[in-house]
Structure 1
Amino acid sequence: MCIFIPKCQLLPFFAERISGSRFLSAFFVEPLLHKFTSRVVAVDGQAVKASRRGGERAGKYILTFYDTENGIALGQKLIGNKENEITHAASMVEGLDLAGCIVTADALNTQEKFASALIQKKADYCLAVKQNHKSLFYDIQLSFMDRTETRTVEIEKVELGHGRIETRKISVLPGSCLPAVLLKKWIGLDEGTIVKTTTESVNKTTGEISSLDRYYISSLNFLNAHIAEQCARAVRRHWGIENDLHYVLDVNFYQDRTQCKNANYLQNRVLLNKWALGMIRKLQKNEESETGKEARSVKRIMTKLQSPTAALEALTSLINK
């Protein structure tokens, strides 16, 4: 299993010489996937800090499509820098099976071409909107400020933790609230939804209150029975790519310390890390299913799989299921 592959002297040889696309084709994620209704797939780039050279502000970026339900990276691409996400996200859609998924992304990837590509693949989108799309941003704001609008659907949830009381409110309106000129640009939005999330946080120690509003566009049909809950889930699950993938890769796989000049090696080593993490996620799900208890942590499973025998046994158990 690839937990111990990095110790093999052949890995640098092959990883440096095989192109990223060919290396990716050698790894299969389909057997690791559970079939969920409306899987949420998050899209985001991650910098490998130690790959930074010269006057670069950050290292090379890897753009990833991440299945937040299964904990599996569906695809990745070396993009050079953060801004290149704009041009590559739409092109990556073509090679992925996203039918029935809700694809989420930050404001950088809220692009008409990306939204169109997702609709063509029979996926839905839920994309963050900030002032990089000023007209869209302000028109969404105005829609939620309209006191004559009676179609607003809202849900609210209170969470306790980390010394704070957080109240999360999700408000949704039909996309048709927006001007026709905008609806023509964003395919699927005419029957879709615009979203406002408001997070109010109260510090239990100091009593200090902070509030933050965020806005989104979605192709999810506003007439769906539980549209507010659907949008809330999509927005919440998007953070899985940061918390469950990027953070784990940096902390447990020391990915941000990966120093290299060879682009193929960087891309392929990151791919191995994600494939290994995907296997561990599958082991965790199986363990929870079999024992009814919370699975061991990623770190504990990685420690056990340092043994080639244990790793092969685990891999065999996954193949045979």
Structure 2
Amino acid sequence: MTAHVVVQVKNNQPKLYQAVQSQFQSLFDAQKEKIVVEHKESGHGRQEERYVFQLKAKLPPELTEKWPTIRSIIAVERHRSANGKGTVDTSYYVSSLSPKHKLLGHYIRQHWRIENSQHYILDVVFNEDASRIAMEDAVENMALFRRFVLNIVKQSNCGARSQRNKLKRAGWNDDYRAQLFFG
């Protein structure tokens, strides 16, 4: 059995990002009328439409050498509107699956569902978005620490049901905190 990948391409891989982005740019410029809506969603005072484009990967030789299993590239355009303001965001992905694979958009949505769920918990439970830590190493260390604690709390079967309540109780009670961390 062979495992396949779908990986988001970000600016920290500038050559790959540029190659994928430029391959889609001509499609975006010339063929807007061929877009098919992948998903429409509304809630929480906003509306979102997602469009998924899939192409056969045509990467330069140096990138093909570094990413030999990549067969397709994917662009996801998200059109959001909330409170009368609209935004468009485009994310790029590479995959070892065929560009004709019907579940690529689904796999990407599942990734974002998990990612958004974790971000929501980190912000609500740890108030992460309001953090005033500025030193780069400290920011990374605290983010790692928060995720470490969150994983321990998620796996715990002791006491409170919600993660927020488990963390509050751990802050108030030394015995509960020890039970949470050391079983």
TM over 0.5: yes
- Cα distance in structure 2, aligned partners of 1:101 and 1:186: 15
Match of 1:142 in 2: 26
Deviation at 1:142, TM superposition (A): 1.3
Letter in 2 for 1:314: L
Q: Describe how 1:148-159 pairs up with structure 2 within 5 A.
A: 156-159=38-41
Deviation at 1:241, TM superposition (A): 6.2
Letter in 2 for 1:312: A
Match of 1:11 in 2: none
Given candidates 132, 147, 152, the residue that maps to 1:274 is 147
Say if 2:7 and 2:94, in contact at 8 Å, map to a contact too: no
Letter in 1 for 2:41: E
Larger RCO of the pair (alpha carbons < 8 Å, separation 6+): 1
- Cα distance in structure 1, aligned partners of 2:167 and 2:12: 33
CA RMSD of aligned residues (A): 4.2
Give the TM-score, by structure 2 length.
0.64
Give the TM-score, by structure 1 length.
0.41
Match of 1:48 in 2: none
Q: Describe how 1:292-311 pairs up with structure 2 within 5 A.
A: 295-296=161-162, 298-306=163-171, 307-311=173-177
- Cα distance in structure 2, aligned partners of 1:212 and 1:237: 21
- SS of the residue corresponding to residue 67 of structure 2 reads coil
Say if 2:5 and 2:96, in contact at 8 Å, map to a contact too: no
Q: CA-to-partner distance for each residue in 1:236-277, whole Å, 9 max, x for gaps?
A: 5455565444x357517x8x35699xx7x8876665443222
Name the count of aligned residue pairs. Answer: 174
Match of 1:219 in 2: 95
Q: CA-to-partner distance for each residue in 1:294-313, whole Å, 9 max, x for gaps?
A: x52x3322111121222233
Q: 1:242 to 1:219 in 2, by over 3 A?
A: same
Match of 1:171 in 2: 53
- SS of the residue corresponding to residue 108 of structure 1 reads coil
Deviation at 1:165, TM superposition (A): 1.9
Is 1:314 matched with 2:180?
yes
Paired-residue identity, %: 16
- Cα distance in structure 2, aligned partners of 1:269 and 1:305: 18
